[in-house]
Structure 1
Amino acid sequence: MMSLPVPVITIGLLLASNLFMTFAWYGHLKFKAAPLYLVILVSWGIAFFEYLLQVPANRIGHGHFSAAELKTIQEVITLTVFAAFSVLYLKEPLHWNHLLGFGFIAIGAFFIFHKWA
């Protein structure tokens, strides 16, 4: 059986964990009538599954990636997932300033990953 490369496993797990976390943090915004205690309990339940993916992603990825690189991957994935979630689930548009800000974060990621001589 052929195993997947560490970057594929790490990024795949981080992507899946971010889907859970985005719903845990922002999914309740469509249910403003729900009691806050219930929203918190449901969010914690969803976040549990995020941790089941996030912790192994960092454990598997560390060594191939530095901790700073893992955090950068996480943040880029977080913004990508959030942007799609915001538009598709919350029906909130992204404006030029959001995209520009995300672009600056992507430029920051370039500086983290570029191999400097």
Structure 2
Amino acid sequence: MKQKPVEDVITFDDIYSIGPLLNLHEREGQEARIEWMRHVMSNEFGGFDDMVINTTIAYDQLFNTKTIRMDLRHTGEIPSEKFKIIYESKKHFHHGRKREVTRRVASFCRNRSYT
């Protein structure tokens, strides 16, 4: 049986349903897209970094009490009005590059007691 030739797959870590796409195959087009993303998608601190919210810890600290407790399995279980409070508190945000955010969140979780 003849083996098919291996083909390369190129992936792009971006959302192409928004933003400029003109000349993405050229450096000028890529730079224009990055500048557009910085202008439109930047956070309130002016940065264009990844942001992570540890919703499990945030929900626990903001809403769980000694008599009422809800253990979350995923963010989708949080009612929208409570998620809005978590988002507006900004206390549980972790900003930075993806690798740094992951490291900081993992460190935070290791040092946090859930008892």
Flag whether TM exceeds 0.5 (same fold): no
Larger Rg: 2
What TM-score, normalized to structure 1? 0.29
What TM-score, normalized to structure 2? 0.29
Structure of higher RCO (CA pairs closer than 8 Å, 6+ residues apart):
1
More helix by share: 1
More strand by share: 2
